């Protein structure tokens, strides 16, 4: 979703998606899988710092998240662990959304 406050951030996220897909096509024939994780807001030090400068940030982010909460960093790590495991051996070029249903 576009954000008038962070246009460069949005462009960078889309560039990572394109790079992931292109690298998967390039390196797939060599047996190399390339995937990315697209998390939504996660309880991190960055969010805590941002909240200090922008009161109400967490509530605004949560309002756009159907699951009604921020992710715990462990939840993002579990998604990464799955992508690194043999259980995802036929997954490549995927941007895995770990976002509680948010489309940010």
Question: Mind telling me the catalytic residues?
Answer: 9
Cα 27 from Cα 74, distance rounded (Å): 29
Distance CA 28, CA 15 (A): 19
- Distance of alpha carbon 6 from alpha carbon 11, whole angstroms: 9
């Amino acid at each position: 979703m576009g954000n008038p406050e962070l246009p460069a951030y949005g462009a960078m996220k889309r560039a990572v998606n394109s790079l992931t897909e292109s690298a998967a096509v390039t390196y797939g024939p060599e047996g190399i899988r390339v995937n990315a994780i697209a998390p939504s807001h996660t309880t991190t030090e960055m969010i805590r710092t941002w909240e200090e400068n922008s009161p109400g940030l967490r509530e605004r982010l949560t309002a756009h998240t159907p699951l009604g909460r921020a992710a715990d960093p462990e939840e993002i790590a579990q998604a990464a662990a799955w992508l690194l495991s043999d259980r995802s051996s036929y997954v490549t070029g995927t941007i895995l959304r770990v976002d509680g249903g948010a489309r940010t």
